[in-house]
Amino acid sequence: MIRNDLSNKKPLNILEKIEESLEKLNDKIEIMIEIQKNGNGNNGNNQKTSLSLPDASLDVMTLLSMPDHLRKTAMVICRCSRATAEEIAEQTKRARAVESAYLNQLVIMGYLKKERKGRKAYFFIDRENQS
Partner 1 sequence: MSKIIAVHSYKGGTGKTLLSVNLAATFAKSGKKVCVFDLDFRAPSLFAILKTPNADYWLNDYLNNTCEIDKTLIDLSSRIPGNGKFYACLANPSTEAIRDMSSKDRKWEMRALGRLLALRETLLKDQKFDYLFFDTSPGLQYSSINAIVAADFVVVATTGDRSDVDGTKRMLAELYNLFEKKTGLVLNKVLDASATAKKTEMQNKIKADYQVPMLGMVPCFCEILRAEGNLIFVQDKPDHPFTKILAEMTKKIENDEVN
> Could you list the residues that contact partner 1 (CB under 8 A)?
55, 57-64, 68, 71-72, 75, 78-79, 81, 125, 127-128, 130-131
| Contact call for residues 103 and 84 (beta carbons, < 8 A) | no
Buried b (16+ CB within 10 A) or exposed e, 81-95: eebbbebbbebeeee
Report the residue number, 14 or 53, with the smaller CB distance to partner 1: 53
Instruction: Pick between residue 45 and residue 131 the one whose CB is nearest to partner 1.
Output: 131
Q: Give CA–CA dist 109/50, Å, rounded.
A: 11
Shortest distance, CB of residue 130 to partner 1, whole angstroms? 6
Q: How far is the CB of 56 from partner 1 (least distance, A)?
A: 10
Query: How far is C-alpha 126 from the geometric centre of its chain's CA atoms?
Result: 14
Q: How far is the CB of 42 from partner 1 (least distance, A)?
A: 28
